[in-house]
């Protein structure tokens, strides 16, 4: 196993100065960087195995005042001016047990 945390930390520093560098990263490295940023923010992070977009990319857990929360992260990096499609937003809303679906209370 190769430790990439120091390399990713350097990339995070560079991205702070030039966010457009994110568009040049391979998708796997982009997911590692997102995981690194979440880790730096205090999350316990697990990268999932590559699945060609058939699932979530990162599990991020953190203990907070009301208990421990698990966040399911799907990394999307669409090149401007393209936006994340509505299908992705619908999928995320449907997969989340805490987000009510439209028309439901």
Find all residues with CB under 8 Å of 84, minimum gap 6, and list them: 76, 78
pTM of the model: 0.70
SS3 68: strand
Rounded Cα distance, 69 and 64, in Å? 7
Rounded Cα distance, 29 and 12, in Å? 11
| pLDDT, tens digit only, all 105 positions of the chain | 445 566 778 888 898 899 888 888 888 889 999 999 999 899 999 998 877 666 788 999 998 888 888 888 888 877 667 677 777 667 766 665 544 434 444
Return the pLDDT at 45.
93
């Amino acid at each position: 196993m190769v430790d990439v945390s120091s390399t990713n930390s350097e990339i995070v520093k560079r991205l702070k100065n030039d966010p457009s560098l994110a568009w040049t990263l391979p998708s796997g490295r982009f997911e590692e960087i997102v995981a690194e940023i979440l880790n730096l923010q205090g999350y316990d992070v697990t990268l999932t195995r590559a699945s060609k977009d058939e699932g979530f990319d990162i599990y991020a857990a953190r203990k907070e005042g009301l208990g421990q929360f698990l966040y399911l992260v799907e990394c999307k990096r669409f090149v401007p001016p393209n936006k994340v499609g509505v299908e992705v937003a619908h999928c995320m809303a449907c997969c989340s047990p805490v987000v009510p679906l439209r028309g439901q209370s």
